[in-house]
Amino acid sequence: MIRTTPFHPRLSELSTTGLWSHWAGYLSAQKYDMSAKHEYFGIRNSAGFFDSSPLYKYWVRGRDAERFLAGVLARDVRTCRPGRAQYTIWCDDAGFLLEDGVVFRYSDNEFMLTAAEPNLGYLRDLVGRLDVEVVDVSQDYGVLAVQGPRSREILARLSPDVAALPYFGHTRTKVGAAAVTVSRTGFTGDLGYEILVPAADALPVLDAVIEAGTPYGLRPFGEQALLMARIEAGLLLVDVDFSSSRYAWTDHDRVTPVELGLRWMLRGIDDPERPFVGRKALRAEIAGGTSRWATVGIVVDWQDWDRVWTQAGLVPPKDETPLDYESMLYDAEGGRVGYATSFMYSPVLQRHIGIARVRPDHGAVGSTVGLEVTVNHQYETVAAQVARLPLFNPERKTA
Amino acid sequence: MSQTTPTRAAKSREYDAIVIGGGHNGLVNAAYLAKAGLSVLVVERRHLVGGAAITEELYPGFQFTTFSYALSLLRPDIIHELDLVRHGFMPILMPSSFAPMENGDYLLLGPDRDENLKEIMRHSAHDADAMDRYEHDVERVCQLVKPLFDRVPPNLFGKSPEDLADIAWLRSHLGDAPPKVLHDAVRMLTGSAADFLDDYFESDILKGYMASSGIIGTKVGPMSQGSGLVLLYHSLGEHDGQFGAWAFHKGGNGGFTQVLARAAQAFGVEILLESEVDHVVTRDGRAVGVVLGDGTELSARTVVSAVDPRRTFLELVEPRELPTDLVENINRFRFQGTSAKVNFALDGAPRYPALGDRTDQYRGFTNIGPSMEYLERAFDDAKYGWYSQRPYLDCAVQSMVDPDMAPPGKHVMSCFVQYAPYHLRGSDWDTEREKFGDTVQATLESFFPGFGDLVLHREVVTPLDIERVVGLSEGNIFAGEFFAPQMYFFRPAPGWSQYRTPIDGYYQCGSGTHPGGCVMGAPGKLASGQILADLRKE
């Protein structure tokens, strides 16, 4: 039997579509409104809320918690002060990515790690003799993401502490009578927050957010709008832009952090004081320059796009729905140089954009690749420019 | 990026080009000219650019799109070529259309086709698939017509190789069209919206809703020949590749023209505010500059008028310097503005009884035109020189899609009103303004009981106000009616549809030229191409 999140009783009332997908065993709204694009504009121009509760959540606690996580996560968690969070990754010992998630540091010895997949067994296996406990509290909390330019104004009405939160900061506070953690995090690339709330308090907190936000244009958004926003924001999605090495059959389906454009996470990798899973392989990859891919943004040449469709007698499609398949990329001679893992029309950028994996020699910003599209059942190639991720990066996100 | 800010005194006495009027077409034209390397000055009479596409805080905290109120026909190439996204371009989807009925029922169309078909079936099962056929047929006509919007009209009377090539292109473009599509195009361009719609639909509400697009801005009823052309124009709009879709620019159309101004300035355009051009200076049949209202003389080898044809030909230059037949044509060019606006600041969203406490129906346009007969009767009043006693209203509660337009929980509502003829029989607009506002508000009250209690502020904008404030002759929102003899190679006059004028170096780029009004930008862009081509030849 499919489960529902602590917010579901209210969300099911708000859904006018009855369209739900299954996410980690829970019902998750695809869209509340017939127009996912309308929900998307909630994120980009007012505010929207999204139920992230199905994420796995682990408390990592104990005297050695920092040392433990510093050895598991590829990004140096020692640089994360209490009250801060980090987007992070963990790799296997071949340096391939297992997963990404966000780690929240509550105190010197207390962290919460969120992840899309179950990791309890994996984490516990690595504890050894350290003084650490890893506790799965996935079902104990609901997570409500409130995202968009008006999100700060809305949440500050409920909890004034929120107004001063820096990007990737978090704080224990109250919404009404409920003790919650509000963090300035999210998956939209916009100004936004997430509220971690004990399951029993989830509905009153949601109701308070809706009441505070409705005058500001707050509306619920589902997975479809989230997936549009995250491509613009250059945020990678497991099973779309990368696969977990754990479940891959061949190295074609594996990718390293460097290949994924996450080399910035490996700052301090040469520090001998911090051994971590995959370090040796990653150092060798960096030293040898053996990365197979670069992960980049692509922006399609609008004239070329219009040309191929117009010449075929068709109206050039500008569909914000992300493609659910890869699109091949070619060089000028027609040789394959990579593929777009995510692709959509961006309403705020007014261009077709994508997240792509290209051979490192084709990763220079501004260089041109040919994107394969199917027009009238035939392959056509349209020009696209390699660009730096994220493609949409408003000042308000971090300001 | 070096960017100038608008000033109240020109920095120089000499420019390559001076553009008269800072409406959207003037800004587009100036931006293209500056992008090509010219030094360009835009001279705007008012304290802000935008012309009829402005947003003003007329009541504290409430942003009003005083005149023009939505975005649809803007040519997509302009967005990219002028790099508007970088300067804040953001068209927000308006995801629904709401058409209340006099019996309390309604038609509510949204973004989902199947749901729409079910909604239409509530009114007529016959009309559900008719809607699909209608949309497909009209889209094909749009595809045929659209390339004409992006090209300078051919000069039918020219014999130069370029003219002959243009005419050959048009003949081949139309000749390649399937006969049905060409025939549909002619039926729309010459016939009435009613006749065209009657071929598809039977339900009054659907026909009223669709026919409303056939009267906007024009002194025709849906049953008049000529309303088909207006219907086609309003179907030609596109938003993110969807024909007929409308968007609301963040911050209203004033938000859009501010984006345009920033883009133009980034290309080096200088904008001079609160300065009126008194006349264009000519010497030996050639424009050499302008004289401002305060007597300042500025010189330029290119002068571009972004104002309407009457002002361009009869006021800014001496009609005596122009060919007589052109003067005659401009003198009889039909303006006869017939539209008005009534804008409201509201304490909350209006309530529609049949929908209870729902408000999502206001995220797009609300169309008060429940049948073709309703619209035609509204037109009847205008025929005899009076404003409609039960007017057609195209309303948008814009704060529903852009919360920046009003304080939290409050709303702005823009109501486009027809018919409001410029010439009133036996009275004038200064006398009738508020009585007209009352008529509009009473109409709204009849559909939304309790509407009046929500009104915090009301702004009535008559055709006379449009003329006085924006400068559009007789308050015509398209800078000249959409009327077949005033379109394409006849806009604004036979022989003068290619943005040039009989005075060398003097050009026109306003909505009085092809392809016409609406916030389209095409006249500004197409004119810039002609100007730059002429400069290359010199």
Domain segments of chain B: what residues? 14-53+74-89+250-334+479-537, 125-245, 339-419+421-461
pLDDT at B115 over 80: yes
B178 reaches A (C-beta below 8 A): no
A46 reaches B (C-beta below 8 A): yes
Nearest to B110 among A34, A150, A318 (CB): A34
Give the distance from residue A40's alpha carbon to the nearest chain B alpha carbon, in angstroms.
10
The dihedral of CA A149, A150, A154, A156: what is its sign?
positive
Give the distance from residue A243's alpha carbon to the nearest chain B alpha carbon, in angstroms.
32
Q: Which chain B positions have a beta carbon within 8 Å of A41's beta carbon?
A: 92-93, 401
Picking from A31, A45, A311, A349 by the largest number of B CB atoms within 10 A of its own CB, the best residue to mutate is A45
Q: Which of residues 90-129 of B touch A (CB under 8 A)?
A: 90-93, 95, 110-112, 115
pLDDT at B1 over 50: no
Per-residue model confidence as pLDDT tens digits over A316-332: 999 999 999 999 999 99
∠ CA B20-B23-B29, nearest 5°, is 65
Q: How many CA atoms lie within 13 A of A12 on its CB side?
A: 9
Q: Which chain A positions have a beta carbon within 8 Å of B111's beta carbon?
A: 34-35, 37-38
Per-residue model confidence as pLDDT tens digits over B6-34: 887 888 899 999 999 999 999 999 999 99
Give the distance from residue B239's alpha carbon to the nearest chain A alpha carbon, in angstroms.
9
**Which long-range contacts (C-beta less than 8 Å, at least 24 apart) are formed by B134-140?**
B134/B197, B134/B200, B134/B201, B134/B210, B135/B244, B137/B180, B137/B181, B137/B184, B138/B184, B138/B188, B138/B232, B138/B235, B138/B243, B138/B244, B139/A315, B139/B235, B139/B243, B139/B244, B140/B178, B140/B181, B140/B184
Q: Which of residues 63-92 of B touch A (CB under 8 A)?
A: 76-77, 79-80, 84-85, 89-92
Q: Do the chains contact at B243 and A320, CB–CB below 8 Å?
A: no
Nearest to B408 among A35, A37, A215 (CB): A215
∠ CA A211-A213-A219, nearest 5°, is 105
> Which of A241, A255, A118, A254 lies closest to A187, judged by CA?
A241
Map out the domains of chain A with their CATH numbers.
8-55+139-221 (3.30.1360.120), 294-396 (2.40.30.110)
Which DSSP category does A158 fall into? H
> Quick check: A110 and A94 in contact, CB under 8 A?
no
Q: What is the mean pLDDT of residues B492-521?
A: 96
Nearest to A350 among B79, B242, B409 (CB): B79
H or E stretch at B107:
strand B106-109
pLDDT at B262 over 50: yes
Nearest to A318 among B84, B240, B409 (CB): B240
User: For residues A100 and B326, what is the distance between their CA atoms, to the nearest angstrom?
Assistant: 71
Q: Per-residue confidence of chain A (399 residues) as pLDDT tens digits? A: 899 999 999 999 999 999 999 999 999 999 999 999 999 999 999 999 999 999 999 999 999 999 999 999 999 999 999 999 999 999 999 999 999 999 999 999 999 999 999 999 999 999 999 999 999 999 999 999 999 999 999 999 999 999 999 999 999 999 999 999 999 999 999 999 999 999 999 999 999 999 999 999 999 999 999 999 999 999 999 999 999 999 999 999 999 999 999 999 999 999 999 999 999 999 999 999 999 999 999 999 999 999 999 999 898 999 999 999 999 999 999 999 999 999 999 999 999 999 999 999 999 999 999 999 999 999 999 999 999 999 999 999 999
What is the reported pLDDT for B246?
Answer: 80
Alpha helix stretches (DSSP H) within chain A: 8-14, 36-45, 65-72, 120-125, 151-158, 202-213, 223-232, 279-288, 302-311
User: For residues B45 and B464, what is the distance between their CA atoms, to the nearest angstrom?
Assistant: 17
Give the distance from residue B415's alpha carbon to the nearest chain A alpha carbon, in angstroms.
21
> Which of A113, A117, A118, A120 lies closest to A196, judged by CA?
A113
**Residue B294: Cβ within 10 Å count:** 9
What is the reported pLDDT for B491?
Answer: 96
A37 reaches B (C-beta below 8 A): yes
Predicted complex ipTM: 0.92
**Residue A60: Cβ within 10 Å count:** 25
Q: Which of residues 334-393 of B touch A (CB under 8 A)?
A: 360, 363
Q: Which chain A positions have a beta carbon within 8 Å of B84's beta carbon?
A: 350
- Superfamily (CATH) of domain B14-53+74-89+250-334+479-537: FAD/NAD(P)-binding domain (3.50.50.60)
Q: Do the chains contact at B91 and A347, CB–CB below 8 Å?
A: yes
Per-residue model confidence as pLDDT tens digits over B244-255: 678 899 999 999
What is the reported pLDDT for B4?
Answer: 56
- Amino acid in the structure at residue B314: L
User: For residues A172 and A174, what is the distance between their CA atoms, to the nearest angstrom?
Assistant: 7
